[in-house]
Structure 1
Amino acid sequence: MEPKKLYRSRTNRMICGVCGGLGEYMNIDPTIIRLLLVLIAFTGAGILAYFIAAIIIPDEY
């Protein structure tokens, strides 16, 4: 069995596909990831973390 790899989703994306990719990787609804990101974004670090993840995580091929 091949190990799972984390990719930005091409099919389930709103902005860059980070939340969609995390949802697919963890087998949970990406909407839950998005809601958590909104809560974390109020600290200011969440927005920065999202864009860093968008740069680091490769796009799904």
Structure 2
Amino acid sequence: MPTTRQCSFCGHEIPPGTGLMYVRNDGTILWFCSSKCRKSMLKYHRDPKKYKWTTRYMKVR
């Protein structure tokens, strides 16, 4: 049975059959729900705790 994943940046659930799996050279697997999340984490090195549209922002504040 397919399982739902959680986005590594924003924390939202990713339905089966969607999203992107990114594997780093050290073997760490990162799941992203959109290109917005992927670029924010990998290209721009943003902190998800500073953005209101992420669920990680809600947990800290």
Q: Which has the higher strand share?
A: 2
Q: Which has the higher helix share?
A: 1
How does the TM-score come out when normalised to structure 1?
0.31
Looking at both structures, which has the greater relative contact order when contacts are Cα pairs under 8 Å and sequence separation is at least 6?
1
